[in-house]
Structure 1
Amino acid sequence: MPQYPKTPAKAKHDLCRLKQELPVLFSLKEMKAFFQQHPKTTDLVKIASVYSYLDAPEPPLSRTLVVAAYIHWQNEEFEGPLPCTLAVAVPPFATPLHEQNAHAFRQFLKESSKYSYALLLPDKYQRWGLLRLSNNDDHSNDSVVSLHVLTSWSQLEPKALKQETTTTTTTELWQPPTPDVEYDAYNNATTTNLWQPPTENDEPEAFPTITTATTTDTTNTRKRPREDAQQSLETTLNQRDTTFHQDASAAAADAFYSKLDRTLQHRWQSQIYHMRNYNGWVKAMQIQHFYASFGKKAARILDLACGKGGDLTKWTLGRIQNYVGMDVARGSLQDAAKRARNLRPQLPRCTFSCADLGANVPGRYKQTRNGPQLESLLTWSLHREASSLSSEPVFTFQKGGGIGLDDAFDVVSIQFAIHYMMSSEKRAKRFFRTVSQLLTKGGKLLVTTMDARVVVDHLMQTGCDFHAIRDEDDPVTIRLGDGLCQIQFAVPVLRRLFATDHESEESNNANINQNWFGLEYSFTLLDGNSNDAKADAVNLPEWLSPLPALEALAESVGLELESVHNFHEFYEQNHEKSACQSSLYTMNVLNRNGSISATEWEISRLYCALQFVKVKDYVDNEIDEDDDGETVPHGLDESQEGV
């Protein structure tokens, strides 16, 4: 039996069985036949209450798990997914009622121990399960069992049979590349089912390319127009003032992403085209999982770092009550507004606002030394303009950034951008406090970001003693994907990253280490050929997001980490689901060989997907102070403080 889990339970389930005598099945063929004729009955007998944990699949397991048959196999070796854990409450957490429940659970295991597995009926996602009942007569822990959650009969084929068939047939499912199999995206021979360049209707890429166009900087003051003044986003962009965002990293991101050009001509020529689309696939699966667990209700969505609105089409696959997109890049928001106009029937309420979530607080009062402040943010609303309007979207300063004081959201998404919040402890805390205020209890926070665990692993493989390096001007560089991706750290940053416990700086919060913040690195991802002016897909300073930091920050504001999967693990968790597998093709994730180059696959391992849930209410009473000691709401000049 597996070890009793050390993490908190994720969900509670009723383990039941059909009331009639359960049949015993001896082969995969008998299992298939049983599913074709199993009775659709609600006549159940409850066995016990059990709990699932963080290793449970997404979407979550059903509330009721129904045992319908026993399985007795001579050969139990099959290549199914990794099992998840089910357990009953035991001391010191168990009450007398829990003890009765645990006794019933153990009695079921004892009576069923002569069988290999119990077969569970399919849930609404057509996932069925095999509950392991025996494990070489090891009954050292009879309060916990393993559950294999399955979606395909092929997962139960014996290993020997699967190895034999793979030598003579070709599987339809894409398999990730191995280091021994490389694909040349430019010189490979033509095969059947040729890959085609993307069309205008394809999903937008995760990493855009850069134009060589330059912008003219003009001198500006810090003054901002009053709330009722009409000012177009184009005018604001032409001004290019450096104080629109007070944080330097937000200002740099504004300037960088506002100049991006996602022309179709250069998208399919990219050396990382399929990796971009794979990143988009991960985001699409996150959204699909959210909708699957949310039900048929219309969702309230807050899309942070929304960019040019590339994920809008993914969100519109479900029902939307309210969509709000926010980004630091004013130029990107103008493109997002144009994209939203084309999706007007699916967007009954849609707003875009310019905000730096490491500093600004949309839709809520920000506690300052001058008292509560409701910030005015540059905002555009689809539902407030005429449907026939085709001119440039006009952004104006609106209090709350188009979010009302009573507005709340069922899901908050921040894709490939949370690292900008980690430049300082102050910015990171501000971000999580704002998210918790805007997220309804039970709501989800969806995140994709650099996987700090993988980055540290690559740094360890360099073999460097970072504390012994004398030349601090010589940075340490990680090169991946034949040089397409480079991550560069300054030596002082690495010394903080690998600081021992006695060297670590403690924060005011006992659970937060100050060495988790400000771990800056330079990230370069080449898009085209090295001689191409558009070569850099990304070339900006970023900051590591250590998982302990994200988890501690979330916990401090009433959020709980539900799951974290590296992008390679995410694929293993999802690729055999029919909808997920088909979207690998429809989103142009796979190249003409039905795979992804080993170069792109190696780079994709740098990322991870996380999901948080809000488990308790949070009230923000902390006071925000600017570095100069004065608080100036974004979008207001000094004379408008307190308005």
Structure 2
Amino acid sequence: MSEISDLEQALLIAAADADSRAYEPVKTSESAEYGLEKETTESEINLEPQPKVKPKKRSLEPNDTSESLSKIRKGYADVVASHYNSLEEKGIIERSKSRIVYLRNFHNWIKSMLINEYLAKVKENKKQHNAPVRVHDMCCGKGGDLLKWRKGGITHLICSDIASISLEQCKARYYHMKGRSARERGGGNIYSIEYICADCTRARLREKYSDPSMKIDLVSCQFAFHYSFESLPQAECMLRNAAECLQPGGYFIGTITDAYDLIARARRSESDTYGNNIYKVSLDFDIDKLIFSGHHYSAPNVTSN
């Protein structure tokens, strides 16, 4: 059996084992083995101790027209953009000091495997040798996957994001990578690129392409698709942007938060806030009155630890 097959089998076994546990809390011994803290109460993460209570009873039914809900929905895109624009750009040395550096590296490895697998499928489907490969990196952020696209040998990349400052940092990374490639022996050509600063959940991105008739081979959206579920129209817009320009036989790949796990942890904690000394999640909705979209939660510092 190949190395990849062994890996896939191991992941399947791990997934089946996790599923059989039905989201049971991680045992202290298991946490210690992997260097993680057990889930704690608010007092253990240096917050004001709070009695355990049922999650807030706040209805988010479609006919909820409360002033507070209206303000949240109206300003949510600005909140997201401001959050990512405010994140400090850190170099490799600083990022290596993070408490979750190994978890970050693991996530990055998974993302690399995902990208490599589907770029290989795209190229296999190309009838013409060395045919151009075009990719759309939706919600690209600061361009954390630029090097992956270079190693994947793509021809053209579209980078779209709601945060203008993040997009500027993405541009700087690309030009730095391009300059370094030119100086390297046998560096060769690097893919062309275009940038779109827009809310992918509200704007039709095709109209902003340099060539609106362009066909895309692969669309990638990493750790951002959940933002579109602020409302059903936004989710539909996001899906349209992901699929509208895909080639027949093209692929969409993405990573999204596990809503089932978020809710399961809230039920176990019997509170609308839970976490440990690494993360904290606060829910702004009633877990007993779930609808398709519009449920907000916050996870401060998750993107900066």
Alpha carbons of 1:297 and 1:286: their partners in 2 closer, same or farther (altered >3 Å)? farther
Structure 1 CA distance for aligned equivalents of residues 247 and 36 of structure 2: 47
The offset of 1:247, in angstroms, is 5.3
Task: Please tell me the root mean square deviation across aligned C-alpha atoms, in Å.
Answer: 2.8
**Aligned partner letter, 2:75:** A
Structure 2 CA distance for aligned equivalents of residues 537 and 341 of structure 1: 24
The offset of 1:451, in angstroms, is 0.9
Q: Is the 8 A contact 2:225 2:254 kept in 1?
A: yes
**Residues 1:360 and 2:153 are matched in the alignment:** no
Q: Partner of 1:279: helix, strand, or coil?
A: helix
Structure 2 CA distance for aligned equivalents of residues 150 and 432 of structure 1: 31
**Aligned partner letter, 2:296:** E
Q: Partner of 1:444: helix, strand, or coil?
A: strand
User: What is residue 266 of structure 2 aligned with on the other side?
Assistant: 459
User: What is residue 287 of structure 2 aligned with on the other side?
Assistant: 494
User: What is residue 275 of structure 1 aligned with on the other side?
Assistant: 103
The offset of 1:279, in angstroms, is 1.6
The correspondence for 2:192, drawn from 338, 341, 349, is: 349
Q: Which moved more, 1:274-283 or 1:321-330?
A: 274-283
The offset of 1:448, in angstroms, is 0.7
- Unaligned segments of structure 2, at least 5 residues: 11-28, 38-72, 124-129, 179-187
Structure 2 CA distance for aligned equivalents of residues 256 and 429 of structure 1: 24
User: What is residue 133 of structure 2 aligned with on the other side?
Assistant: 299
Structure 2 CA distance for aligned equivalents of residues 458 and 293 of structure 1: 37
The correspondence for 2:294, drawn from 515, 518, 534, is: 518
Structure 2 CA distance for aligned equivalents of residues 299 and 318 of structure 1: 10
**Residues 1:250 and 2:77 are matched in the alignment:** yes
Q: Partner of 2:289: helix, strand, or coil?
A: helix
Residue deviations 1:111-164 (CA, integer Å, cap 9, x gap): xxxxxxxxxxx8xxx57xxxxxxxxxxxxxxxxxxxxx9449xx9xxxxxxxxx
Residue deviations 1:592-641 (CA, integer Å, cap 9, x gap): xxxxxxxxxxxxxxxxxxxxxxxxxxxxxxxxxxxxxxxxxxxxxxxxxx
Structure 1 CA distance for aligned equivalents of residues 80 and 32 of structure 2: 38
- Trace 1:208-607 onto structure 2 (pairs within 5 A): 248-264=75-91, 266-295=94-123, 297-344=131-178, 345-364=188-207, 400=208, 402-462=209-269, 464=270, 476-479=272-275, 482-490=276-284, 492-497=285-290, 515-525=291-301, 537=304
The offset of 1:184, in angstroms, is 8.4
Q: Partner of 2:294: helix, strand, or coil?
A: coil
**Aligned partner letter, 2:161:** D
- Unaligned segments of structure 1, at least 5 residues: 1-121, 128-148, 156-176, 186-245, 365-399, 465-474, 498-514, 527-535, 539-643
Q: Give me the identity figure in percent.
A: 24
Structure 1 CA distance for aligned equivalents of residues 158 and 147 of structure 2: 14
Q: Partner of 2:217: helix, strand, or coil?
A: strand
Residue deviations 1:464-512 (CA, integer Å, cap 9, x gap): 4xxxxxxxxxx61121xx331111113x432322xxxxxxxxxxxxxxx
**Aligned partner letter, 1:331:** I
The offset of 1:180, in angstroms, is 4.6
**Residues 1:179 and 2:31 are matched in the alignment:** yes
Greater Rg over alpha carbons, structure: 1
User: What is residue 185 of structure 2 aligned with on the other side?
Assistant: none
If asked which structure has higher relative contact order (CA below 8 Å, sep 6+), I would say 2
Alpha carbons of 1:416 and 1:266: their partners in 2 closer, same or farther (altered >3 Å)? same
Structure 2 CA distance for aligned equivalents of residues 285 and 310 of structure 1: 15
For this pair of structures, how many residues does the alignment match?
Answer: 234
Alpha carbons of 1:436 and 1:150: their partners in 2 closer, same or farther (altered >3 Å)? closer
Structure 1 CA distance for aligned equivalents of residues 247 and 215 of structure 2: 6
**Aligned partner letter, 2:247:** T
Q: Is the 8 A contact 1:412 1:444 kept in 2?
A: yes
Structure 2 CA distance for aligned equivalents of residues 310 and 180 of structure 1: 30
The offset of 1:436, in angstroms, is 1.6
Residue deviations 1:514-551 (CA, integer Å, cap 9, x gap): x110111111246xxxxxxxxx727xxxxxxxxxxxxx
TM-score of the two chains, using structure 2 as the length reference:
0.69
Structure 2 CA distance for aligned equivalents of residues 363 and 524 of structure 1: 33
The offset of 1:329, in angstroms, is 0.7
The offset of 1:178, in angstroms, is 3.2
The offset of 1:183, in angstroms, is 3.4
Structure 2 CA distance for aligned equivalents of residues 285 and 182 of structure 1: 23
Structure 2 CA distance for aligned equivalents of residues 297 and 254 of structure 1: 36
Alpha carbons of 1:352 and 1:150: their partners in 2 closer, same or farther (altered >3 Å)? closer
Structure 2 CA distance for aligned equivalents of residues 247 and 298 of structure 1: 40
Whichever structure has more strand as a proportion of its residues is 1
Whichever structure has more helix as a proportion of its residues is 2
TM-score of the two chains, using structure 1 as the length reference:
0.34
